[in-house]
Amino acid sequence: MTLTPEVKQKIENLINSNKIMVFMKGTKLMPMCGFSNNVVQMLNALGVPFETVNVLDDGEIRQGIKDFSNWPTIPQVYINGEFIGGSDILIEMYQKGELQQLVEVALAS
């Protein structure tokens, strides 16, 4: 399945209209996998507003986001329109204090 212009536009709109956008399995209130839950917990711990898209509800986005970012796994986190990475990368950034700096800059802009 290739990334259609419609799905690409939908993904771009989601990313551009939210400072912190998480493509994940489940929702921020009910994550459906451990990796998605890790990301939600870190963002909640930072006390920052973020939006999520449940890829389990949308097969086009579930595959499309992988093609869009050229990243094979879910969750995927975008901050200020930029692809940051998945759970492992966020955990590493969080532990180093880099994630906090990144979201503070994003929310201030």
Question: According to the model, what pLDDT value does residue 50 have?
Answer: 97
Percentage of the chain modeled with pLDDT above 90? 96
Each residue's pLDDT tens digit, 41-94: 999 999 999 999 999 999 999 999 999 999 999 999 999 999 999 999 999 999
Rounded to an integer, the average pLDDT of 96-102 is 97
Those residues with Cβ within 8 angstroms of residue 21's Cβ, 6 or more apart along the chain or in another chain = 14, 15, 50, 51, 52, 53, 77, 78, 79
Beta strands across the sheet bearing 51-54: 51-54, 20-24, 76-79, 82-85
Which tokens sit at 39? Answer: 């990301």
Residue 11's nearest CA partner among 46, 53, 50 is 53
Domain count, the chain: 1
Query: What range defines the domain where residue 68 resides?
Result: 5-108
* Backbone torsions φ then ψ of 57, nearest 5 degrees: -85, -10
Distance CA 99, CA 43 (A): 9
Question: According to the model, what pLDDT value does residue 1 have?
Answer: 56
Question: According to the model, what pLDDT value does residue 64 have?
Answer: 96
Question: According to the model, what pLDDT value does residue 109 have?
Answer: 82
For residue 50, the domain's CATH number is 3.40.30.10
